[in-house]
Chains A and B, each alone.
Chain A
Amino acid sequence: MTTSTLSRRPILLGLAAAAALVAAPALAAPAIGKPAPAFTAVDSTGKSRSLAEFKGKTVVLEWTNEGCPYVQKHYNAGAMQGLQKSAGRDGVVWLTLISSAPGKQGYKTAAEANDWKAESGAAPTAILLDPKGEVGRAYAARTTPHMYVVNPAGTLVYMGGIDDKNSADAATLNGAKNYVVAALGDVKAGRAVAQPVSAPYGCSVKY
């Protein structure tokens, strides 16, 4: 709010408004209870994956950025890997998405993504590479981590944070309420997801 920016502000506002008009459709938030936005993306093995191929299965979408301290909180303690494995045992499809643009924090080539998966012991069904941020924008993913759960009918049943502790401090993992675990439990039991939305927390997605 400095004086020097004041005079330029009508122009900036105009640009912002124009940008918002362009950006708004891309960032239109997906809705709980509505079909999850369809997407196709290449995974770290070079295979093209789409949401449609997992119809009939519960799907978890996890946005990640290896360099983000909030992501590190969940990976360094092995918490995220544990979730992925336990979901896998239940037949849940886990897709980890990287929407960082090339040159930005968290961006990975296919080979780098495979290395990271091996080093960290991550166990997703696939790591999807979304360097243009198309899938990220379709889901209005804004943080890493940002979590979504799609039920077997293809309906979005959860979106938001991974848990209720907005902190990068690993100590907060203890006693945190994990919303994804709760949502998967509800879906498995055939119940409506009790808490279908929460505020996501973490670093911004580096579009």
Chain B
Amino acid sequence: MMRRLAGFLLAALVLPLSLAGPALAAPVDTGHLRAELIAQTQAIAPGQTIQVALRQEIDKGWHTYWRNPGDSGEATKIGWTLPAGWQAGEFVWQPPQPQPAGPLVNYGYSGEVILPMTLTAPAGATPGQSVTLRAAAAFLVCEEICIPEDALLELTLPVQAEPAQPAGRWAQPIARALEAAPKPAGLTAVFHNDDAGLKLAVTGDVLTGADMAESYFFPFDGAVIDHAAPQAIERGPQGLTLSLTPSYAFQGPEPPQVMAGVLKVGETYYEIEAQAGPLPAEAAGLGPPVARAGGGGAGLGLPLAVVFAILGGLILNLMPCVFPILAMKAASLAGHAHEQAAARRQGLAFLAGVLATFLALALALIVAQAAGAAVGWGFQLQSPPVVAALCLLMLAVALNLSGVFEIGTSLQGVGTGLASRGGLAGAFFTGVLAVVVAAPCTAPFMAPALGWALTQSAPAALLVFAALGLGFAAPFVAVAFAPGLLSRLPRPGPWMDHLRKVLAFPMYGAAAWLLWVLTLQVGPMGLARLLAAAVVLALAAWLYGLSQARSGGVALKGGAAVLAVAALAAVLIPAYQTPAPAGEARGAVAELPYEPYSAERLAELRAQGAPVFVNFTAAWCVTCQVNEQVALARQGVADALAGTGTVYLKGDWTRKDEVIAAELARHGRAGVPLYLVYGGAGAEPVILPQILTEGVVVRALQAAASAG
């Protein structure tokens, strides 16, 4: 104390006389930092409010503290000694930096820190005079150990008649500090503390679509949260929810009703004041943000994601919905089996088609996601006009394979073995078609890679999609390039015509399946429209075939084209009526009693502690339908559901549904199927494999129920 007092006395003795010059201040070295008062202007007018600041230049390795110092430490303080009428405001605190110290975390500053505050001159200040303002600043400066340091600072300002404008060396730094300070942004913040933990939900326009990686809440009050505990982040459509660890204040007789502080989102800091209350739904549901990709950081996940994508692409070749396309590929390749160069060109064209389509889909997905649409893998089959158009396309391909008409020489193939321009286009087109149809079959290896890709930067996502295409096209390209494999294919002959006509039937099947999907999406009226269009298209195909058989059947060709366009137009325009609400009239696809999924219903059941089985499915998802038949619609599963009292919720993603898309994302998925089994209250769900068996489901249900 004596030392401190002596310091003050000494400082008082050496105070310089007031001089009528520009703002003057001298830095004071307190031992581990240099402190000074700075001003944004060179002078002040009577009644004017200017910005001044306490500037600290802290020794390397040492730090001072924020308004809430965290687990230990003490905030920097300033006490002004001002002439009558003069007023100084509070510090405008800069965003704090977390300072870990062993198991503790402090909030503070290192290097240079500028803490602005206002200074107001009285209306009666006399222009022409110079005023010296004094302030005592107290710092706790810590490295491993802490040292309280003091500085008696002063600032000399000339008083002038005209209001002073920002000028001088410190005008810009102070402006920047004011700019960087956390500000309110109309955010709504709510917190809720119960046995499940302390959650802080923040919503607002500025948070919609924001990069929420590394979000963090700095409370003003040092007693509300455990500063050292990690803050888990969950994104929501309009905000985020942080899971905090409550501290002392919540153990007292009067737990806090308000929790104010600074929220860091990305590199932006907002001032928030959270009220106790129920948490809003729009601040959660989209899962944690992916760790920010920066430099080497992205390299950690990307290679693995690419490997998964190639594997997933390979496996897509084996999925049921790709089979018809495989059939087309086989027919096309067989046509060129004994023409090495032609086969290679076909392979490359197919690869190009596949890659182009995957990249186009990825781009569409990225753009749609950026626009905030709830889309995911297979999204193209959520649109009724797309499904109807695809159905007609399948029908046209099937009719072609049946020999009703021919497309140039490309798919004629049989016996000619020559790759024309049309042949290359045909192979490219085959690739395109294969991808579009294969997309809804989310192969097990593909789901994690896609889920990851959709949360990444656009280039990373595109790379993953390209890898997927590479894997998908690899078998066909390999066959096209390996003469050994090619020579094992049988020689061309009449059998190829038979093969081609046999292969037409999987395509009819694909058309029928798409028709069924459309029925589920839009009901019987859509069915009538599409069936009528299909008949017209078949007529068009036949007319076109007729024109090919005769030389110069221009009129027939024109008629066929008109009919084909009319058929296509009929399924695209007018728009399909707004479909019935989700969950209604879906009984036909399920044989087990279920309730439609909703986030509210799930939360309610979870609160009751009831075991829950959630099935996210879609009519166009073949894997889902196969699982439905071979694993779910079984007596064993029905018995297990009844025996364990498990509630069966089904989320139908046949059409766009933001809630379901959010739930899928929360579990790292970009598509269906997704099967979740919830046991006792509080526990995270078990995610079942994407290919189910009856035994897997029964065991999971029983395990969850007994754990609960």
Q: Do A and B bind each other?
A: yes
A interface, CB within 8 angstroms of B:
1, 6-11, 13, 16-17, 20, 23-24, 26-27, 29, 31-33, 67-70, 104-105, 137, 142-143, 159-160, 166-171, 194-207
**Cross-interface CB contact of B138 among A27, A137, A169, cutoff 8 Å:** A169
CA distance A24 to B144 in the complex (A): 22
Give Cα A68–Cα B144 distance, bound, in whole angstroms: 11
Give B contacts to A, CB under 8 Å. Answer: 1, 4, 69, 71-75, 97, 101-104, 106, 138, 140, 142, 144-148, 214, 221-223, 226, 228-230, 247-249, 251-253, 267, 291-297, 300
Within 8 Å CB of A204, what residues of B?
Answer: 71-73, 101-102, 104, 106, 142, 146
Contact A198:B223 (CB < 8 A) given known A20-B230, A105-B144, A137-B103: yes
Contact among B1, B248, B253, B297 for A199, CB-based, below 8 A: B248
Q: Is the CB of A207 within 8 A of B74?
A: no
Please name 5 further chain A to chain B contacts, defined as beta carbons within 8 Å, in addition to the given A1-B267, A13-B214, A166-B75, sorted by A numbering: A10-B294, A195-B252, A196-B253, A201-B74, A204-B101
Query: B residues within 8 A CB of A169?
Result: 1, 4, 138, 148
- Nearest to A26 among chain B residues (CB) is B103
Asked if B291 and A13 make an inter-chain contact with CB atoms under 8 angstroms apart, the answer reads yes
Q: Which residue of chain A is the closest to B148 with respect to CB atoms?
A: A168
Once bound together, how far apart are the Cα atoms of A7 and B142, in whole Å? 27
- Cα distance A16–B103 when bound, in Å? 11
Flag if B72 contacts A199 (CB, 8 Å). no
**Complex interface: chain B residues within 8 A of A143 (CB):** 71-72
How far apart are A65's CB and chain B's nearest CB, in angstroms? 9
Asked whether, in the complex, the Cβ of B230 is within 8 Å of the Cβ of A16, the reply is yes
Interface-centre pick from A137, A198, A202, A204 (highest chain B CB count, 10 A)? A204
Shortest CB-to-CB span from A175 to chain B, Å, is: 16
Q: Is the CB of B72 within 8 A of A9?
A: no
Expressed in whole angstroms, the Cα–Cα distance for A77 and B221 within the complex equals 29
Pair A168/B74 contact, Cβ less than 8 Å: yes
Which residues on A sit within 8 Å (CB–CB) of B147? 69
Main secondary structure of the interface of B (DSSP, over half): loop
- Residues on A with C-beta less than 8 A from B101 are 204
Interface centre among A69, A104, A194 (most CB of B within 10 A): A69
- A6 and B296 alpha carbons, distance in the complex (Å): 9
> What are the residues of chain B within 8 A of A31 when measuring CB–CB?
251
Q: Which residue of the partner chain, among A10, A29, A196, contacts B226 with CB atoms under 8 Å?
A: A29
Does B296 lie within 8 Å of A69, measured CB to CB? no
In the bound complex, CA of A104 to CA of B296 (Å): 36
- Given A10-B297, A27-B103, A143-B72, are A197 and B251 also a contact pair (CB < 8 Å)? yes
CA separation between A104 and B143, bound complex, in Å? Answer: 12
- With A17-B230, A171-B1, A204-B104 as contacts: A199 and B140 at CB distance below 8 Å: no
Q: Which of B104, B226, B295 contacts A205 (CB 8 A)?
A: B104
Task: Pick the residue among B97, B138, B226, B291 that contacts A9 (CB under 8 A).
Answer: B291
The CA-CA distance from A170 to B1 in the complex, in Å, is 7
Report how far A6 CA is from B292 CA in the complex, Å: 9
Distance (Å) between the CB of B684 and the closest chain A CB?
15
Chain A positions within 8 Å of B253 at CB level: 194, 196
Min C-beta distance of B299 to chain A, whole Å: 9
Q: Which residues of A contact B103 (CB under 8 A)?
A: 23, 26-27, 137, 207
Question: Can you show 27 pairs from A to B with CB atoms below 8 A apart?
Answer: A1-B267, A7-B295, A7-B297, A9-B292, A10-B300, A13-B291, A20-B228, A23-B228, A68-B145, A69-B147, A70-B146, A137-B103, A166-B75, A169-B138, A169-B148, A170-B1, A195-B252, A196-B252, A199-B221, A201-B72, A203-B72, A204-B71, A204-B73, A204-B102, A204-B142, A205-B72, A205-B102
With the chains together, A171 CA to B148 CA distance in Å?
Answer: 14
Residues of B near A69 (CB, < 8 A) are: 140, 146-148
Cβ–Cβ < 8 Å partners of A8 in chain B: 296-297
In the complex the two chains form, what is the Cα distance from A194 to B254 in whole Å?
A: 11
Cβ–Cβ < 8 Å partners of B75 in chain A: 166
Pick the most buried of A27, A67, A142, A206: most chain B CB atoms within 10 A of its CB: A142
Residues of chain A within 8 A (CB-CB) of B228 are 20, 23, 27
Q: How far is the CB of B265 from chain A (nearest CB, A)?
A: 13
Shortest beta-carbon distance, B658 to chain A, in Å? Answer: 29
Contact residues in A for B106 (Cβ distance below 8 Å): 204
In the complex, A112→B291 CA distance in Å? 48
Decide: A104 near B140, CB < 8 A? Known: A9-B294, A142-B72, A196-B253. no
A13 contact set on B, CB distance < 8 A? 214, 291
> With a CB–CB cut-off of 8 A, which chain B residues contact A11?
297, 300
Residues of A within 8 A of B72 (CB): 142-143, 200-205
| Min distance, Cβ A36 to any Cβ of chain B, angstroms | 13
* Inter-subunit contact B1/A197 (CB<8 Å): no
Chain B residues closer than 8 Å to A201, beta-carbon distance: 72, 74
Q: In this complex, what residue of A is CB-closest to B291?
A: A10
Quick check: A1 and B97 within 8 Å, CB to CB?
A: yes
Which residues of A lie under 8 Å from residue B102 when comparing CB positions?
204-207
Cβ–Cβ contact A24 & B229, under 8 A: yes
CB distance from A76 to the nearest CB of B (A): 8
Q: Are A29 and B247 in contact (CB under 8 A)?
A: yes
B102 closest partner in A (C-beta): A207
Q: When A167-B74, A168-B74, A204-B104 are in contact, do A198 and B148 touch as well, CB less than 8 Å?
A: no
9 tightest A-B CB contacts, nearest first: A7-B295, A204-B72, A197-B248, A199-B223, A10-B297, A10-B291, A168-B148, A207-B102, A142-B71
A207 vs B103: C-alpha distance when bound (angstroms): 8
Contacts of A68 in B (CB 8 A): 145-146
The winner among B73, B221, B247, B267 for most chain A CB atoms within 10 A is B73
Closest to A204 in B: B72
Q: Which residues in B have their C-beta under 8 angstroms from that of A203?
A: 72-73, 142, 145-146
A166–B74 Cα gap in the complex (Å)? 7
A7 touching B71 by the CB < 8 A rule?
no
Q: Which of B75, B144, B145, B253 has the most CB of A within 10 A?
A: B145
Given contacts A23-B103, A170-B1, A204-B73, contact A199 B222 (CB under 8 A): yes
